[in-house]
Amino acid sequence: MFFTYLRRELRRRRKAALVVASGLALGIALVIVVNSVSSGMNQAQDKVLQSLYGLGTDMTVTKAAAAPKSGETGRPRFEFGAKDDGEEQSSDRVMVQGFQTLASSTVTKVAGQKGVADSVGGLSLQVMKVNGQFKRGQFKQDQSGGATRQGGSGGSGGQPQGRVEGGGASFDVNSYSVYGTDVAKQGLGPLTSSKVTKGRTFKTSETDAKVAVADASYAKEKKLALGDSVKIKGVKYKVIGIATPDSGDAAANLYVPLKQAQTLADAKSKITTVYVKATDSQQISAVKATIQKNISGTTVTTSADLADTVSGSLSTASNLASNVGKWLSIAVLVAAFLVAGLLTSSAVSRRVREFGTLKALGWKSGRVTRQVIGEAVVNGLVGGALGIAVGLAGAYAVTAISPTLTAQLGSGAGGGGMGMGGPGVRQSAGKTLDIALSAPVSATTITLAVGLAVAGGLIAGAFGGWRASRLRPADALRRVE
């Protein structure tokens, strides 16, 4: 009887039901689109951070910034020996990025802290190679240099007069980055943000082997292929793999085993960065505080710290989606619920004679209330279905258009630590990354939409049910013509 009467009433009041359902659909659709776009923003931001940190990395530990010692300039010095005129000269200088290092034992200390699941150390280097040659100039004597002037000898002190012409120097400076990675733990750190598309990655037995993995862009620029050799400070390294970044820029141009990087930089048992994975992503702040408290002289930077430094249209759009968009969707949803409730209550007032007659025939107030709430819930579910359809269409449209957003990492992020915290951080500072925006719709968002639809129906039904419960059979008798 309940469902029969419900079906007949909804058919008879199709226009009113459609108005209520449409209002709820608008609010629900807006919630879905805003949530989906916000989720897409988070994914885009994660891509930017992943290109800096590497997959699975929750935070980095670096040496706290310190003032340079007296006499230290931090600028590279190149020395060239005397060679024959025009002979090519070459000099390499391997420098630790940021000139700040930690002891390798810091990795063990960090791993022993509460909340740390895994940690691995790395050494970030910058190599500057200078190639060129010096040319000796030629002395040319003045035409009048040998002539004796009146009242004296020619020239000053009898020396020939002239000038040096030609000569000079022509040098080419090539700078590239090298990252020393722990081949025993390759599941953490910057190399995980790239995929080896040609060749292979390091073997665990190659802890001190003269092998290298090259970034795809760098390999293309230098025309490197598998099996080729690259020379760093006079040492040849065989290219065993080509790595392509999943997103953004690569962390380094070349990757070599950590021990080899330490040898090149004359930094035995030294690292620049400890990459840390937490046991619980919800406790990252607590883990950060623990590391900073127990390991002095370090700076801990989390992905949230990096996210605060991301600027550009990605940051602006993310702020709009999380602030203006969410509050707008909430306001529209509340308005839709109120309108649905008022329309349902108004509909009940127009059905006074109907409900009064039903009560006169023996219907209890509770049964009348349940009937009104049932109709409102069905309207809510219809509105939810429409809202989900419109929301999915909106999210699909955003993904299909794929508007491009820009993201830029601030060069001063994280104080002294971030300026040298990882190879990707320094390279990406001041660079703009183009990120295609998508709007993925998760099962959680759909569940939220269904919940809102039911809630909207219940709220609307509560308005109408309360109004219907107060009707008396006498009200219907007064309206009988």
Say if 145 falls within a structural domain.
no
Looking at residue 162, what is its pLDDT? Answer: 65
Say if 81 falls within a structural domain.
no
Say if 96 falls within a structural domain.
yes
Looking at residue 311, what is its pLDDT? Answer: 52
DSSP string, 63-126: EPP-PPPTT-------------TT-EEEEEEEEEGGG--EETHHHHHHHTSTTEEEEEEEEEEE
Which range has highest mean pLDDT (65-69, 178-182, 337-341)?
178-182
What tens digit of pLDDT does each residue of 47-102 get?
A: 665 555 555 677 888 888 665 555 555 555 555 555 555 555 666 778 887 768 89
Same domain, 279 and 398: no
Would the pLDDT of 192 be above 90? no
Would the pLDDT of 439 be above 90? no
What tens digit of pLDDT does each residue of 352-390 get?
A: 667 666 777 777 777 777 777 777 788 788 888 888 898
What tens digit of pLDDT does each residue of 377-432 get?
A: 887 888 888 888 988 998 888 888 877 766 555 544 333 333 334 444 434 344 55
Looking at residue 434, what is its pLDDT? Answer: 66
Q: Distance (Å, rounded) from C-alpha 93 to C-alpha 22?
A: 69
Same domain, 285 and 399: no
Do the beta carbons of residue 32 and residue 394 sit within 8 Å? yes
Same domain, 290 and 322: no
* Residue 315 vs residue 45, higher pLDDT: 45
Determine the average pLDDT of the residues in 259-285. Answer: 89
Say if 80 falls within a structural domain.
no
* Residue 466 vs residue 287, higher pLDDT: 287
Same domain, 318 and 437: yes
Say if 306 falls within a structural domain.
no
Same domain, 321 and 371: yes
Determine the average pLDDT of the residues in 155-172. Answer: 61
Which range has highest mean pLDDT (5-19, 111-125, 186-200, 423-437)?
111-125
Same domain, 324 and 287: no
Q: Which of 239, 268, 296 is the last residue of a domain?
A: 296
Same domain, 337 and 211: no
* Letter string b/e over residues 417-428, b meaning 16 or more CB atoms within 10 A of that residue's CB: bbbbbbbbbbbb
Q: Which domain holds residue 238?
A: 89-132+168-296
Strand partners, 299: 62
Q: Distance (Å, rounded) from C-alpha 449 to C-alpha 68?
A: 57
pLDDT grade for 259, boundaries at 50, 70 and 90: very high
Would the pLDDT of 227 be above 80? yes
Distance set, CA 140 to CA 137, 143, 145, 158 (Å): 10, 9, 10, 16
pLDDT grade for 291, boundaries at 50, 70 and 90: very high
Same domain, 402 and 258: no
Say if 456 falls within a structural domain.
yes
Average pLDDT of the chain, as a whole number: 74
Say if 248 falls within a structural domain.
yes
Looking at residue 425, what is its pLDDT? Answer: 40
Looking at residue 207, what is its pLDDT? Answer: 92
Residue in the structure block whose two tokens are 């600027």: 311
Among candidate residues 246, 269, 247, 245, the one with its CA nearest the CA of residue 255: 245
Q: Which of 296, 322, 344 is the last residue of a domain?
A: 296
Q: Distance (Å, rounded) from C-alpha 278 to C-alpha 289?
A: 13
Same domain, 218 and 337: no
Determine the average pLDDT of the residues in 172-183. Answer: 86
Say if 343 falls within a structural domain.
yes
Question: Which range, of 201-205, 238-242, 474-478, averages the lowest pLDDT?
Answer: 474-478
Looking at residue 165, what is its pLDDT? Answer: 64
Q: Which of 269, 296, 323 is the last residue of a domain?
A: 296
Same domain, 99 and 202: yes
* Residue 55 vs residue 266, higher pLDDT: 266
Looking at residue 416, what is its pLDDT? Answer: 33
Same domain, 412 and 285: no
Looking at residue 453, what is its pLDDT? Answer: 79
Strands 273-278 and 229-232: unpaired
Count structural domains, the chain: 2
Looking at residue 433, what is its pLDDT? Answer: 61
Same domain, 120 and 245: yes
Determine the average pLDDT of the residues in 243-269. Answer: 86
